A and B are shown apart, each in its own frame.
Chain A
Amino acid sequence: SQKIEQNSEALNIQEGKTATLTCNYTNYSPAYLQWYRQDPGRGPVFLLLIRENEKEKRKERLKVTFDTTLKQSLFHITASQPADSATYLCALDTGRRALTFGSGTRLQVQP
């Protein structure tokens, strides 16, 4: 069956450091991989989308990589700030616009 795993339930880092979050998947051929941020009690907020034929995408302090051979995406936040503390969700899409979400990684950035 299709499975998406995000590396850890929680990640604690110091302000200014780079946070790296991992998303692994099996039995899936996504056309797109997306990253969302979710704050407690709120809806997911779109951050970045990367296509299956792209290796890397950047937006300001965010960077995502996509390796379809390893079936893995890495999501980086550079120069992290306490305001970056949230749960980050990986979501896969075969192109049919039905997102399959991972369970998320809760990031805590300590001042």
Chain B
Amino acid sequence: EPEVTQTPSHQVTQMGQEVILRCVPISNHLYFYWYRQILGQKVEFLVSFYNNEISEKSEIFDDQFSVERPDGSNFTLKIRSTKLEDSAMYFCASTRQLDYEQYFGPGTRLTVT
């Protein structure tokens, strides 16, 4: 069964550094998402992406964040200058065009020191 994949599984970075988290959504899906989950807290929506542009974003998704679909398979989340509070699990998800259920990847654990 097709799955969403994410790399790396764990990323450690220093405060102020840029990080890029990578995702390969399921191949025939057209909506892509990023969520984050701080340890012990709720899963929080960051951004959705469709037809090569952002369709929705939350208050969390400020100017430090950006998303890109650089080719036909990858979907990336960039954090320009990481802060300690960016430490969290970041999940990518994708959906078929006519559906609403979201298929999540295994996550990337980001640790900012």
Contacts and interface: CB of A to CB of B under 8 A. Distances in A.
Contact of B55 (A43, A97, A99): A97
A25 B95 CA distance: 24
B7 to A, nearest CB: 14
Contacts of A46: 101-104
Contacts of A72: none
Contacts, number: 62
Interface residues of A, number: 24
Contacts of B41: 103
Most chain A C-beta atoms within 10 Å of own C-beta, residue among B41, B48, B100, B106: B100
B98 to A, nearest CB: 12
Interface residues of B, number: 25
Nearest to B105: A43
B46 to A, nearest CB: 9
A56 interface: no
Contacts of A45: 104
B58 interface: yes
A34 interface: yes
6 contacts: A41-B107, A43-B91, A49-B100, A98-B45, A98-B56, A101-B44
Interface of A: 32, 34, 36, 38, 41-46, 49, 89, 91, 93, 95-104
